[in-house]
Amino acid sequence: NRATGLMELEQKDGGPSYVQYLPVPANFGSVPHTLIAGTGNLKAIVLGPALPRGSVVKGRLIGSLNVADDAGARMQAIFVADNTPFADVKSLADLDARFPGVPAILQTWAANADGKAKSSIAFKGRAQSIPLVGGAILAYEEAMVTEADKRPLDANGNPQLYRWPGAKNVGE
Alpha carbon distance 21, 126 (integer Å): 27
Lowest-confidence region among 13-27, 110-124, 135-149, 153-167: 13-27
**Confidence bin at 88 (pLDDT 50/70/90):** very high
CB neighbours of residue 62 within 10 Å: 23
**Confidence bin at 166 (pLDDT 50/70/90):** low
pTM for the model: 0.72
In this structure, the chain runs to a length of 172
* Per-residue pLDDT at 22 exceeds 70: no
What average pLDDT does the chain have?
Answer: 82
Cβ neighbours of residue 106 closer than 8 Å, sequence gap 6 or more: 24, 26, 45, 65, 78
Alpha carbon distance 33, 144 (integer Å): 9
**Confidence bin at 172 (pLDDT 50/70/90):** very low
pLDDT for position 17? 62
**Confidence bin at 127 (pLDDT 50/70/90):** very high
Q: Nearest to residue 138, comparing CAs of 59, 37, 17, 47?
A: 37
pLDDT for position 20? 55
* Per-residue pLDDT at 103 exceeds 60: yes
